[in-house]
Structure 1
Amino acid sequence: MNQLWNLKPLTPYRGPLPGTGRKKPNPQPKPDQLSTQDYQVALAIYNDTVADRLPHAVELNDKRREGIKRLMGQLARKDLQGFRAYVEAFVTHAPPFYFGGQ
């Protein structure tokens, strides 16, 4: 019987880069460090990507900020490029049900 499911996944290496003594840079901002402009850009990314398939988000309110922050915290890439990739993947691969189809 294969015991692979009992193995723990490796954690990301956060120590110095081998042979350099320097830490690896972390260019991705944490979702809790997003600026107001980042939220506006995320809203624009969403509206541009969904085009006419879903209603546009017109106003940036606290509920939408919290939703963007929560979603970006779960993405592999926690920045606006990761957010764009997620929305594009959703629009491309989601079943028609999400867009009012059957």
Structure 2
Amino acid sequence: MIKHIVFFKLEDNSEANKEAVKARIMSMQGKIPYLSHIEVGVNFCDQERAFDLALITDFYTKEDLARYAVDPVHVEVVTFLKSINTQTKVVDYEY
């Protein structure tokens, strides 16, 4: 199994915007067949080093993760996130 975690720092980190971005990311659920699990956590910590959201996804194989990266549903969400000046950090690992 592959775990893909992405942290997001939003330019507008208001609670309303964080919830709206979470909903936009979660809109991928059920639309990408090789995405076996998706969740989005909204950060409540107000430290400067904290990110605003965490996306946690699971895939069965590295190939599934690679397919996800170019899937049109995912690309649409990524394009949206880039349009709102989102900073990201990523961690991928096998478990």
TM-score of the pair, normalised by structure 2: 0.31
Higher relative contact order (CA 8 A, sep 6+): 2
Structure number with bigger Rg: 1
TM-score of the pair, normalised by structure 1: 0.29
Q: Which structure is higher in strand share?
A: 2
Q: Which structure is higher in helix share?
A: 1
